[in-house]
């Protein structure tokens, strides 16, 4: 039997339990003593005072004002998006607006999923481009193809996704979930691309940025002729000198039409080698002279990888000293545990050299549908940050490539 000393054991020893290292109430502490202390405090009418010296309690207290309907979008996000994926969306808004939009940051954006058919080209992407918030883009070809419908004055409509697809086919209606449009919209857009691609300026190998720049010129001309205003993302990118790349040129109706014309001897070729090197040169240019690079990823897929692989291209393949992108913002519904690139986290990207490990605190993944998040982030950015001067990176492609070539050759 243990010798009695007459002393009360310290809190961390009573009852065989461990208290927290601060001696405060804890789930690892003595349950009976903590229960009695709480009951005594309640009986005396004493208010519990949280141990706010803890580093885990330094976040703002959750105490939002009632929502009245008079709030702006930005005020609603700051005041009521306090937890779970809403909090991640607030963090995304803060990262984009407070850090990624600083003057020395070059912002690349990637687009996957059917965003332009849902009208997000007009609602969000064109305003982001025109305000100087997005400096270069990598998109699926499908987003650019469907974007062109609007620039040609062709209509897409809201529909009921429960309709019979057999009936829709018989009626000549195509659907992208709940976006409906006439089959002739596809035929008319195909005819437009085939017509412009046969023009002399397309008769050569080129990067997808050059290809889309030329297409954007013709789309803007059609918009002007129709008097419909700015409806097309590629038209706005042409106006603002924002280069648009596609990571898989043949994987869309645009690429299909290019391939069909090749059967007739057309010389237009979209060269992926130029795309790989041009996108790497944009990132290298952003990082030299004290600048920074930020990537805003909508969705995931091939455009996500194409944007992030710029750093392994610079470091691993070309052998140029670099550390990775500075800012990483992704909106996605993909899980990381399936091993797919769409769900891969920024921490995983560090191991590839894609993300600067010192900048991981400046990485946000928001698990939410991009059709919900993108309009909110766009509105927040416009409310909280003034427009930036356009970088017009398209106009500087040759100079940026010369820097990349010069640094690469110096190492050989």
Question: Could you give all domains of the chain from N- to C-terminal order, each with its CATH number?
Answer: 73-152+205-411 (3.40.910.10)
Could you give the strand order of the β-sheet that contains 173-176, starting from the edge strand earlier in sequence?
157-158, 179-182, 173-176
Q: What is the mean pLDDT of residues 323-350?
A: 75
DSSP strand E in 348-402: where?
363-367
Q: Which residue has the higher pLDDT, 29 or 188?
A: 188
Which active-site residues does the annotation give? 354
DSSP state of 325: B
Judged by DSSP in three states, 176 sits in strand
The confidence score (pLDDT) of residue 75 equals 97
Write out pLDDT tens, residues 117-163: 999 999 999 999 999 999 999 999 999 999 999 999 999 999 999 99
Q: What is the mean pLDDT of residues 190-213?
A: 98
pTM: 0.88
Task: Decide: residue 254, CB within 10 A, 0-12 exposed, 13-18 middle, 19+ buried.
Answer: buried
Handedness of CA 152, 154, 158, 160 (dihedral sign): negative
Q: How confident is the model at residue 411 (pLDDT cuts 50, 70, 90)?
A: confident
Q: Terminal CA-to-CA distance of the chain, rounded, Å? A: 79
Write out pLDDT tens, residues 44-54: 888 876 666 77
Residue 67 CB coordination number (10 Å): 11
Question: Which of 190-194, 336-340, 377-381 shows the lowest mean pLDDT across its residues?
Answer: 336-340
Tokens representing residue 5 in the block: 């000393």
Q: What is the mean pLDDT of residues 76-87?
A: 95
């Amino acid at each position: 039997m243990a010798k009695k000393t007459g002393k009360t054991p310290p809190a961390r020893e009573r009852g065989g339990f461990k208290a927290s290292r601060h001696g405060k109430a804890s789930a690892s502490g003595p349950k009976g003593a903590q229960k009695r202390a709480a009951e005594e405090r309640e009986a005396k009418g004493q208010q519990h005072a949280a141990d706010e010296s803890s580093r885990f309690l330094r976040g703002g207290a959750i105490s939002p004002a009632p929502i009245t309907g008079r709030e702006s979008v930005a005020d609603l996000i700051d005041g009521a998006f306090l937890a779970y994926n809403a909090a991640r969306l607030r963090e995304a808004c803060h990262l984009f607006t407070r850090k990624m939009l600083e003057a020395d940051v070059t912002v690349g954006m990637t687009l996957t999923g059917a965003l332009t058919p849902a009208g997000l080209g007009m609602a969000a992407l064109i305003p982001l481009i025109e305000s100087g918030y997005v400096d270069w883009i990598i998109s699926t070809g499908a987003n650019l193809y469907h974007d062109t419908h609007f620039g040609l004055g062709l209509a897409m409509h809201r529909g009921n996704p429960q309709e019979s697809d057999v009936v829709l086919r018989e009626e000549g209606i195509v659907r992208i979930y709940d976006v409906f449009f006439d089959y002739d919209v596809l035929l008319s857009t195909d005819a437009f691309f085939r017509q412009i691609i046969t023009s002399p300026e397309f008769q050569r190998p080129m990067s997808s940025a050059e290809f889309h720049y030329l297409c954007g010129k013709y789309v803007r001309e059609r918009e002007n002729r129709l008097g419909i205003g700015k409806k097309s993302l590629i038209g706005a990118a042409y106006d603002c000198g924002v280069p648009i790349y596609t990571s898989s040129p043949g994987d869309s109706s645009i690429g299909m039409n290019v391939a069909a014309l090749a059967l007739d001897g057309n010389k237009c070729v979209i060269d992926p080698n130029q795309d790989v090197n041009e996108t790497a040169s944009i990132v290298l240019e952003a990082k030299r002279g004290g600048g920074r690079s930020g990537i805003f990823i909508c969705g995931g897929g091939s455009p996500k990888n194409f944007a992030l692989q710029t750093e392994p291209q610079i470091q691993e393949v070309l052998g140029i000293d670099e550390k990775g992108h500075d800012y990483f913002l992704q909106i996605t519904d993909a899980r990381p545990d399936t091993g797919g690139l769409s769900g891969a986290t920024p921490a995983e990207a560090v191991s590839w050299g894609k993300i600067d490990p010192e900048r991981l605190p400046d990485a946000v993944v928001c698990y939410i549908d991009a059709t919900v998040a993108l309009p909110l982030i766009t509105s927040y950015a416009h409310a909280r940050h003034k427009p930036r001067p356009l970088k017009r990176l398209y106009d500087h492609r040759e100079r940026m490539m010369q820097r990349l070539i010069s640094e690469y050759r110096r190492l050989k």
